[in-house]
Structure 1
C-alpha cells in the first residue's frame, strides 16, 4: 500500500471540482428517498438490506478487478470503526430523525459537519484550524439559517423537534468522525474498492446487531415507493456516492471535502421547489447568496506549505 497525502491547500483542479459536484448532487438528492423508506420496515433493517447489497456488489467488483481482500487485524480495526461511524450509526441516526423532522431540516443539521470536521481534525489529528475554513463554513450555516429559518420559526412540518434534532446531531458527529477515518485510511494507501467493501461489511454487522437487539422483523415493503427509493439509495447514494466521496477526501482532505455538506441542503431545497411546492422568498435568496460566498471563501484558499498530519 502506498501512503497518500491529500492536497489541503491551494486551488482545486478540474477533477477536484468535478468530484465535488458529483458528491453534492448525489448526497443532496438522498434525503427525500430516505424519508420514503420510513413506514413498514424498521430503519435498521432497511439499512441492513441497503449495505448488504452494496457490500456484495463491492466484493464482486474488488474480486473482478484483482483488488486486495485479506488484511491484518489492525486494518480491520480501522475498517470496523469506519463501518460503525460512516456506514451504520450515521444513517441509523438520520433514519430515526426522519420520523420527527422534514428532509430539508435534516440536511441543514447534517451541514454542520462542515464545521465539525475541521474541529475534530484539530482535536484528534493536530491539524491547524484555518480561518478561511471556519469563516466559510460559518457563512454557509448562517445562509442556511436564512433559507430555512422562517419555516422553523412557525414550526411548520416539525413534530418532536427536540428528539429529531438530537438524533440528527448524533448522525452528523458520526459522519464527521467517519470522514476523518477516511482520511486516515487514504494516508495508509488502501484502494477505494477494498476500503469501501470492508466499510460496508462492518456497517452490515452493526445494523444486524441493532436489528437483533431491537427484535426488528426482517421484512421488505413490496411497494413502488419503498423499492424505488431503496434502489436509488443503494445504487446512487451508496455504490456511487461513497467511493466518489472517499476519492475526494483522499485528494483534498476531509476538511475541504466536508464543506460540500453545506451545499447538500440547497439541492434538497431545489427538489422541494419542484416536487413539494416550496416558495422562494427574499430571505431565502439572501441565504443562498451567503452560502455561495462561504463556498468561495473555502475553495479559494491561498497556497501555503502546511505539514500533512502524521499517519496514524
Structure 2
C-alpha cells in the first residue's frame, strides 16, 4: 500500500479503490449496531474508545511487522501522528458517543454522511482541490436521499424541539469537524511521504492512550464487561478499525478526501439493510426512494470529471 501512488486520472475511480470502498462501507455499515451494544452496556464511553483503538493499534503493529512494513516515523511524523490520532481516534469518537446520548444513531449517521461537505471545503482551502459540477450535483441528490431515508428520525428531533436534541446535533457537528480535519490532513504532501501503517498505528495508540487516561480519572477500572460488550469491542477494534481505517486512508490518498468520504453516504444504507435483517426494520416508501437517491448521487459524484 504505497503512500506515494500517483493520483487517479480526472473523472476516473481506479479499480484498486473499488474493493476497499466496498469493504469499508459494508463493515462500517455494521459498526453502528456494535456501538449501540457498547452504549447499552453502560460502560464509560472513554473505555469503549480506548479499548477499541488499543486493539486496533496492536493489530496494525502486528500486521505491519509481519509484512515488514515501515512503522517507525521521523520526529515530525510522531508529532503529526499524535495530532492526527487525537482528532480522528479520540475527540471525534468522544463527541459521537456523547451525541448518541441525545439523538438516535440514525441522525448521527446521516450527519456523518455529510462529511463530504467539510472534506470538500477543507480540501479546497488546504489542498487546492477543485470541486466539479457533477460532484456538487451528486452530493445534492445524495443529501436529498439521506433526508428521505432518515425522515422519521429528523421529524422526531424537529418535534422534540428540546435542548437535548440541539445538543446532540451540536456534538455530532463537532465530531464531524474533527474527523474532517484528520481526513484532509492525509492529502498533504509531507503526510503522504510518511508510512501509512505507521501513521495509523501510532495515531491509534495516541487516541487510545488519551481515552484510557480520561476513563481512569472519570470512572476507574471498567466493570460489568459482558460477553456481548467484549465481542462488540473486539469487532470494532479488528474489523471496524484495524481492517477498515488502513483501507479508508489508502482511498483518501488515491481519490481525495471528498470522494473517499462518500463511504459515509453508502454506510447508512448498509446499516438500514442490516437493521432489516437483524432488528426487523420495516422500510417505508420514502426510505426506499431515499436509499436509491443516495446511491444514485454517490455514482454521479464518484464519476465527477474534476477531482474532488
Residue in 2 that maps onto 1:286: 289
Q: Deviations over 1:21-70 (max 9, x none)?
A: 11111111111111111143211111111111222222223233333343
Contact in 2 for aligned 1:45/1:207 (Cα 8 Å): yes
Q: 1:180 to 1:149 in 2, by over 3 A?
A: same
Aligned CA distance change for structure 1 residues 161 and 228 (closer, same or farther; 3 Å):
same
Asked if 2 retains the 8 angstrom alpha-carbon contact of 1:47 and 1:91, the reply is yes
The unaligned stretches of length 5 or more in structure 1 are: none
Task: Report the equivalent of 2:253.
Answer: 250
SS in 1 for 2:275: helix
Residues 202, 157 of structure 1: alpha-carbon distance in 2 compared, 3 angstrom cutoff: farther
Pick aligned residue for 1:225 from 219, 228, 235:
228
Per-residue deviation at 1:198? Answer: 1.1
TM score, norm. by length of structure 1: 0.88
Q: Name the Cα RMSD after superposition.
A: 2.5
Higher mean C-alpha displacement, 230-239 vs 63-72: 63-72
TM-score by length of 2: 0.89
**Structure 2: runs of 5 or more not aligned:** none
- In structure 2, the partner of 1:15 is 16
- How much has 1:226 moved relative to structure 2? 0.7
1:206 aligns with 2:207: no
Could you say which residue in structure 1 is the equivalent of 2:128? 126
Aligned partner of residue 263 in structure 1, secondary structure: helix
Would the aligned equivalents of 2:103 and 2:157 in 1 still touch at CA under 8 Å? no
The answer to which of 17-26 and 55-64 deviates more is 55-64
Partner of 1:296: 299
User: Which residue number corresponds to residue 138 of structure 2?
Assistant: 136
Partner in structure 1 of residue 89 of structure 2? 87
Q: In 2, Cα distance between the equivalents of 1:2 and 1:235?
A: 22
More off after superposition, 43-52 vs 66-75:
66-75
**Count, aligned residues:** 304
In structure 1, C-alpha distance between the alignment counterparts of 2:129 and 2:15, rounded to whole Å: 25
Distance 1:161 1:40 in 2: 21
Which residue number in structure 2 is paired with residue 170 of structure 1?
174
- Residue 215 of structure 1: SS of its match in structure 2? helix
